[in-house]
Amino acid sequence: MIQQKIPGKPVTVTINGKKYRANEGEILLSVAIREKIEIPHLCFEASLDPYGACRLCMVEVVRKGKREMATSCTLRAADGLEVLTDTPEIEKHRSILFELYLAEAPKSDVIRDMAAHYGVTRTRFLKRIEQGDPLGNKCVLCGLCVRACSEIMGAGAINFINRGPYTVVNTPYYAPSRDCFGCGACVRVCPTNAIEMEDVGADRVMKSWSDTRVPLSQCECCGRYYAPRELSASVLARLDTPLKEEIARLCPECRGKQLAQNEILAGRGGRATHG
Ligand code: SF4
Ligand code: FES
């Protein structure tokens, strides 16, 4: 469940010897991102609770002269917290992880470029290449798509299937999903661009998810198919001020134009009345 956190009191944290302001309880990785301090990460998504799955965001925490490793996406800012992001131990840990990810997702340009940025261009591990892999041999099993689908959208259309080295993400039994809204949240959060989705005619096709097809709404003005039908209906139904039916049947662009036109006409009417 996503927990909304109220910003805590201002605190000072030290990253690589430099002091930064943060809110107490703020995720250290968020502080680093805000301050443009490079920490590689794959499974962190601000709209989801931190999970600590990819282990790439490790930093060293300095406490009373001792150091211990921690994932910066689960570490919370507290006054006096001191971390180091690029020690030899961290670099060694990252290199091994990058080698593992190069083997796990051998076709991912994102992983290849990220690893190369940290000086890792080869892997000693056996590359996992599967012919016809629905995720194009680009998935690192970070779980973000699964969590976005269930925790943000409440759909639960995809999940981890199989175990151990055979673990993959897909729909149950590789069958087209009836629970998928075709919202594309999974595509948006995937750090390796592994998920394929395409609008084909009147359907959105979630190619990676067993070719699940979701019908799209068609704009009554321009004829364009523009958004998953059920999803847009449920969003429109939840608006505080409901849209008139003839406006609700338009795509966002035509809707905007129509509303602007209505306002201009209403303005003219107003002026005519008062003139
Ligand atoms: S498809 Fe993308 S988001 Fe989903 S587990 Fe694989 S890498 Fe993560
Ligand atoms: S981003 Fe922290 S463990 Fe993945």
In whole angstroms, what is the distance from residue 135 CA to residue 125 CA? Answer: 20
Q: Is 192 a pocket residue for ligand 1 (Cβ < 6 Å)?
A: yes
Q: For the chain, how many residues are written?
A: 275
Residue 51 alpha carbon, nearest atom of ligand 2: 3
Ligand 2 mutation target, pool 27, 41, 48, 100, most atoms within 8 A of CB: 41
What pLDDT sits at residue 275? 36
Q: Is 105 a pocket residue for ligand 1 (Cβ < 6 Å)?
A: no
Largest CA distance in the chain: 81
CA nearest ligand 1 atom 3, residue: 190
Ligand nearest to the CA of 69: 2
Q: Can you say how many angstroms the Cα of residue 65 is from the centroid of all Cα atoms in its chain?
A: 37
In whole angstroms, what is the distance from residue 184 CA to residue 212 CA? Answer: 12
Q: How far is the CA of 112 from the centre of ligand 2 (A)?
A: 18
In whole angstroms, what is the distance from residue 272 CA to residue 107 CA? Answer: 65
Please tell me the pTM assigned to this model. Answer: 0.88
Ligand 1 mutation target, pool 145, 162, 167, 209, most atoms within 8 A of CB: 145
CA 253, 255, 257, 259 torsion-angle sign: negative
CATH for 94-218? 3.30.70.20
What pLDDT sits at residue 5? 57
- Spell out, as residue ranges, where the chain has pLDDT lower than 50: 1-4, 273-275
Q: Is 169 a pocket residue for ligand 1 (Cβ < 6 Å)?
A: yes
Dump the DSSP string for 173-227. Answer: GGPPPSS-----HHHHH-TT-----EEETTEEEETTTTTEEEEEEE-TTT--EEE
Go through 46-67 and write b for each residue having 16 or more CB atoms within 10 A of its CB, e for each that does not: eebebbebbbbbbbbbeeeeeb
Inter-residue contact 188 to 88 (CB < 8 Å): no
Residue 71 alpha carbon, nearest atom of ligand 2: 2
What pLDDT sits at residue 270? 59
Ligand nearest to the CA of 101: 1
What pLDDT sits at residue 242? 78
Fold of 10-86: Ubiquitin-like (UB roll) (3.10.20)
What pLDDT sits at residue 271? 60
- Which amino acid is residue 92, in one-letter code? K
3-state secondary structure of 56: coil
Delimit the domains of the chain by residue range.
Answer: 10-86, 94-218
Nearest to 190, CA basis, from 142, 157, 150, 152: 142
